[in-house]
Each structure stands twice: as structure tokens, then as C-alpha cells.
Structure 1
Amino acid sequence: MTFDDPQLGRRDRKKRQTRTALATAALRLVAERGLDQVTVEEISEAADVSARTFFNYFPTKDDALVGDTEVDRVRVLRALAAVPAEQPALEAMRRAFVELVDEMQGDAELWLLRMRVVVQHPVLLARLVSGNATTEQALVSAVADRTGLPVDHGYPALVVAVAGAALRTAMVRWAACGGAGSLATLLDEAFAAVAAGLPDPRTG
């Protein structure tokens, strides 16, 4: 949804604008100064809100940098549930990422800045996709349900880990070319390579 989406009320649009302003301010300041040289107070001032308002939207500075992982988790889980059950688990994960990738491509300026920051600070990169343990476990549980395996079986966790790595790889490549290419195409390439068993390119 965009800020002008008629499905959003005025209050919700304002909240979304404030969230985006805070995230953009955080990313720009960290890109300029470095992760440890930027405070929540400085981010809030740059976004023209109070520090108290900042914490209404993000629990920490890092959360403002990586985006709204809770919303992303809900979106991906919803998309995964909509994939027909007969689809292999890895393909289902690829399809579940499509909506998220489309949103990134549509808001390329913000996401390219975000990728610039997380590449500079690798501690943020894992959080960018997996979000946190809650997100990862939710995806593992969803894959376990799809495959009929117990949640503590190794396969669901491996699928989620590999899918996350494929998405991160595509995002890093997309950022490296300044967003000139298609993130969706890079995602498909990454998943295709994994599905093929990652054959050694030297063997032809």
C-alpha cells in the first residue's frame, strides 16, 4: 500500500509516513556517520519528532534501520499459506517472497539505502531478512505444517535457512548494481541455483 491508498484512513497514513520518515532519517544518518555514531535522539530530531515518538514505532535504533520485520513476517506467512500445498517447500518459500520483493523494488530508493547500510554493518544483514527468532520459528513451523514433518525435524529449518540465504544474496546483488536490475529476477536465479543443487560452474 502507498500513503495514498484509499484503504488506509488519514490516521493510518500519517502513522505510515512517520514510520517511513524515521526509518529514512536513521538510514541516512548511519550511512553518513556509522552505526555507533548515531543516537535515537538525533534520528528523531532529523525526522522532526520526539524521541518518545520514535519508541512508539521502533523498540531500538536497529529496528528502524532494518524495517518493520513484524509486518514482513505476517505478509510472508500469509503468502506462504496461499501457495498450493502440492508445491515443494523451497518453491513455496520463493513464491512467499514475491510480494515482499515487489514492495522493495517499488520503494527502491529507501531499500537501496537500507542495503547500503546493512552491507556496511553485517550485524544488521541477518536481521534484515530473518528479522528475529520469532520470524524464523514461525516460518519453520509453517514449512513443517506444509510437509507433515515435526517442527524439530531438520528439513523445515534447513529450507527456511536456505530460502533466507537466497533472498539475502539476491538483495545484496541488487544493491551492488544500484538497483539497475530486477530484484525479482535475481531472486529467481538464486532459488534456481539452489534447486539445481548448486552445481559447480567449472564443470559446465
Structure 2
Amino acid sequence: MRERKKLRTRNALARAALELFTRQGFEQTTVDEISEAVEVSQRTFFRYFAGKEDVAFATQQLVETHFLEALLTRPADEPPMAALRGAVAAAWDGLAQAMAEMVPIELHMRAYQMIESTPVLLAVHLRRSAELEERMAREIARREGLDVDADPRPRLAVAAFSGAIRVTGRLWGEGPDHSLDALRTLTMAYLDRIGPALVEHWRKTD
């Protein structure tokens, strides 16, 4: 019960922060305003988040955590790309509920757009993405018994995978259906095309 209460408080702070960030701007919003919106003290805010930057990435952190946990539990005999794809599919099972408990999906989308349009947050986002890709590459290398600094394949595989994730996220955000099911369907369709896109001829023949 105590852990559930702590999670509710954290989620309430994240939701309030993202609402304020997307409505009035990241730099214009203060920690005091976020705390007041949830009727907690500033001290309570800092029990859950290191600062405004930390809470701005709350939903992204949720997605990353679910994915990395899923990747770590993939069967050892799966090829690298299959393990990455399988981790995405497995992560969806718990992600939808966890996301719904934290923020509405439309707020997650608005927050992502806010991050991309805020220079200080965009820089952090790019750094976080690079760090996440490196963690993924090192996990793939570990699974395959490779030295990630001597063999380029883990980083190349992760780069292709991450590129597909970025493309589908952008297309989903621009499309008419903003449900998680729509994102899942689009993501899987693009991941399934990575292999053929890299090795097959594209040119149509008569």
C-alpha cells in the first residue's frame, strides 16, 4: 500500500509537470508550481525527481525501463535483431497500463513535442538516446560473446533498430490514430522490414 501511494504521488507530479510544461513552457515553469499543483511540498518533489529536467523525461524513462528489462530477459539463442524486436513486443504488455497510470497518451505526445522544440531539453534527449543505444549495443555484444569495441555489429544493429523506432514514432505522431495499439502495429511493421531493406533489391522489375 505504501509503495502504491508513493507511485501515485510520483505519477501525479509527472502529470502535473508535463501539463504545465506543455501549456506554459519548460523554462517558464517552476518546481514550486509543480508541487503546488499536486498539493505537496517542494521537498516531496525532490524525493521523486532530481529537478525539472528529470521530470520532463518521466514518460521516456518509463518506456526505456520497460524495454531494457524486456531485452535482458530475451532467450539466449535469439539472433540480435530478433531479440530487439521481441523486447519491443514484450515491453508493450506492461507499458500500456503503466503509461495510463502516469499520464494520458496525448499528454505523452505533447510532452515529446515540447522536448523536441525546447533546445535545452533536445540536447538532453539526444544525449539520453545515445546513452540508451550504447547500453543496448553492450547488451547485444554480451549476449553474442563479442567485444563491442572490436566488433562493429552490435552498434550497427542497434543503430538500424533505433532508426526504425524514431521513424515510426514520428509517423505515429503525425498520423490520425494516436493509440498505443496503432504505434505498436506501425513499429512492428517497420522492424519487420529492416532485414529486407538492407539486403534485398528495391527496384521494381517489369
TM-score normalised by structure 1 residue count: 0.77
Compared CA separation, residues 93 and 62, structure 1 to 2 (3 A)? same
Q: Trace 1:138-153 onto structure 2 (pairs within 5 A).
A: 138-152=135-149, 153=151
Give the corresponding residue for 2:91: 100
Shift of 1:194: 1.9
Against the structure 1 CA distance between its residues 178 and 73, is the aligned structure 2 distance closer, same or farther, given a 3 Å change threshold? Answer: closer
Query: Following superposition of structure 1 onto structure 2, how do residues 1-204 of structure 1 map, counting pairs within 5 Å?
Result: 10-67=1-58, 73-106=64-97, 107=99, 110-122=104-116, 124=121, 131=128, 135-152=132-149, 153-176=151-174, 177-180=176-179, 182-197=182-197, 203-204=203-204
SS of 2:104's equivalent?
A: helix
TM-superposed deviation, 1:198: 6.0
Q: CA RMSD in A?
A: 3.2
Quick one: percent identity of the two aligned structures?
35
Q: Distance in 2 between matches of 1:49 and 1:155?
A: 48
Taking a change above 3 Å as real, the CA distance of residues 114 and 130 of structure 1, as seen in their structure-2 partners, is: farther
Please give the alpha-carbon distance, in whole angstroms, between the structure 2 residues aligned to 1:117 and 1:69.
Answer: 10
Contact 2:13 2:35 in 1 (8 A): yes
> Equivalents in 1 of 2:68, 2:51: separation in Å?
24
Provide the residue aligned with 1:6 in structure 2: none
CA shift at 1:75, angstroms? 3.7
1:170 and 1:187 in contact (8 A); partners too: yes
Compare CA radii of gyration and give the structure with the larger one: 2
Distance 1:76 1:179, change over 3 A: same
Q: Taking structure 1 as reference, are residues 144 and 127 closer, same or farther at Cα in structure 2, changes over 3 Å only?
A: farther
Q: TM-score, normalised by structure 2?
A: 0.77
Are 1:129 and 1:168, in contact at CA under 8 Å, matched by a contact in 2? no
Unaligned 5+ residue runs, structure 2? none
Please state how far the C-alpha of 1:73 moved relative to its aligned partner: 4.9
Deviates further, 37-46 or 123-132 = 123-132
- Between stretches 42-51 and 60-69, larger displacement belongs to 60-69
Unaligned ranges ≥5, structure 1: 1-9
* Number of aligned positions between the proteins: 195
Distance 1:79 1:129 in 2: 23
Instruction: Indicate the larger mover: 140-149 or 16-25.
Output: 140-149
Q: Is the 8 A contact 2:16 2:38 kept in 1?
A: yes
In structure 1, what is the Cα distance between the partners aligned to 2:8 and 2:192? 37
Q: Which amino acid aligns with 1:100?
A: A
